Amino acid sequence: MTGAFAGGCRSLCEAVRALPAGEVQSFFVAPRGTVRDFFAGIGEVIDAWGMSQIDHTHYNYYRGLRWLVPLRELAFLPATLMVLYRAHRRWKSVDLIHVNEITGVVPWLIARRLFKAPVVVHVRSVVRNDAGSQRTRWINSLLRDKADAVIAIDETVRGSLPPELAVDVIHNSFSHAAPKDTDRRFADRLSLKPGSFKVGFVGNLLRVKGIFELVEAAHLTREQGIDVEFIIVGGDAGRSDTLWSRLLNRLKLGQDVGSEVRAKIAEYGLEDRVHMAGFTADVAQAYACMDVLCFPSHYDAPGRPIFEAAFLKIPSIVAVRKPTSDTLVDGVTGLAVPPRDAAALAKAIAGLAADRGRAAQMGAAAHELAVSNFLPEPNSMKLLALYRRVLAQATESEKPGETRASGAHP
């Protein structure tokens, strides 16, 4: 559902790549962007100018000025219809449709009608769980009646879905290759100081990722005289320097804020301790430079970077009020802080910077948790078992005389 190669796309790539050879032939429909090159390595790709979404997640649900956002989704509707019709003409039939995020309601329903195949919906975001909301009831009815299986990426996401709904929890996966010796140039390029406590951030430069809280925490730790450096790995998901993007950001409707982040760093005079590393496809080399990872997002949920870092024995500071033990054990594998609280984030950073032995112990515990839950092969086998179960159920429910589509899942 996004053209930028972000966490959800990376997780899908990892899952598909780890499937046993010859079991699944993959086709992808996606918005135009950097995802194409990654998906093209594991399957055929058809891309579109844009894909219509309906966002009823905990953070992004429509209210106030955000009711203007559906106008963009309406503009994307012709492209969504066109790309799915193109996919149908080219591939003719598929066995299974895998929707990579619950916001993909529109392509989900269109593809289901075109291909007449069962649908698996992957829920990666915490869903707004408001029993009094008609939109919540509508989304829940679609999951119940128009999806043949539902996957949640962790227990936090599962908890936002109806308790009576059948949901498989299949964790995201990460191929945790160790950084190569030649990748040490990554640290050299940033001119990191020996002895400083290194705090990392990995993700697109979006307001919702908590990037401004991180910059504010950098400012607070400097004011406190703490020897901390910050490594920001990631770039804008789109253009943040255009008149249109600035207008959307002023209305709090836009998320691409890279130019604003750089301006804030300059305003505070943090250029010597906040290093903008840009995007890298090999994140292992970036994690190898860090003592702790910060995931200060507004989603009130853990994200992919915390277990990516954990595979290299790096603990995390995560903005989540109620962490679940499958992703973060507060005080053991990392620290939980309230979302949108730069002061709490700075305090947690300062505490670990003052007790690096504790940070190392948390990193070791985080590694154990990552090995238990986030290895690609066992999680991909769970996904394959779910595919087989859905196909078996679809076959059993067919009426006499009907024929099944054959092929693969987009």
Q: Which tens digits make up the pLDDT trace of 30-77? A: 999 888 988 999 999 999 999 999 999 988 899 998 898 999 999 999
- DSSP state, residue 353: H
Q: What separation in angstroms does the CA of 272 have from each of 123, 184, 228, 349, 387?
A: 39, 20, 10, 18, 50
Q: Which domains does the chain have, with CATH numbers?
A: 7-173+375-397 (3.40.50.2000), 181-373 (3.40.50.2000)
Provide the sign of the torsion angle of the four alpha carbons 249, 255, 259, 261, taken in this order.
Answer: positive
**CA–CA gap between residue 410 and residue 346 (Å, rounded):** 43
Q: Nearest-CA neighbor of 202 among 236, 233, 230, 237? A: 233
Determine whether 217 is exposed, middle or buried from the number of CB atoms within 10 Å of its CB (0-12, 13-18, 19+): buried
Residue by residue, DSSP assigns 6-53 as: -HHHHHHHHHHHTSPTTT--BEEEEESSTHHHHHHTTSEEEEES----
Global pTM reads 0.82
Residue by residue, DSSP assigns 361-396 as: HHHHHHHHHHHHH--HHHHHHHHHHHHHHHHHHHHH
**Tokens, residue 87:** 């996919």
Provide the sign of the torsion angle of the four alpha carbons 242, 243, 247, 248, taken in this order.
Answer: negative
**Tokens, residue 289:** 């430079």
| C-beta of residue 317 within 8 angstroms of C-beta of residue 335 | yes
pLDDT string in tens for the chain (410-residue length): 888 777 788 889 999 999 999 999 999 999 998 889 889 999 999 999 999 999 999 888 999 988 989 999 999 999 999 999 999 999 999 999 999 999 999 999 999 999 999 999 999 999 998 888 999 999 999 999 999 999 999 999 999 999 999 999 999 988 766 555 544 567 778 889 999 999 999 988 888 899 999 999 999 999 999 999 999 998 876 554 556 555 665 655 555 688 889 999 999 999 999 999 988 767 888 899 999 999 999 989 998 899 999 999 999 999 999 999 999 999 999 999 999 999 999 999 999 999 999 999 999 999 999 999 999 999 999 999 999 999 999 988 875 544 444 334 43
Residues 6 or more apart whose CB falls under 8 angstroms from that of 361 comprise: none
| C-beta of residue 48 within 8 angstroms of C-beta of residue 31 | yes
- DSSP state, residue 160: T
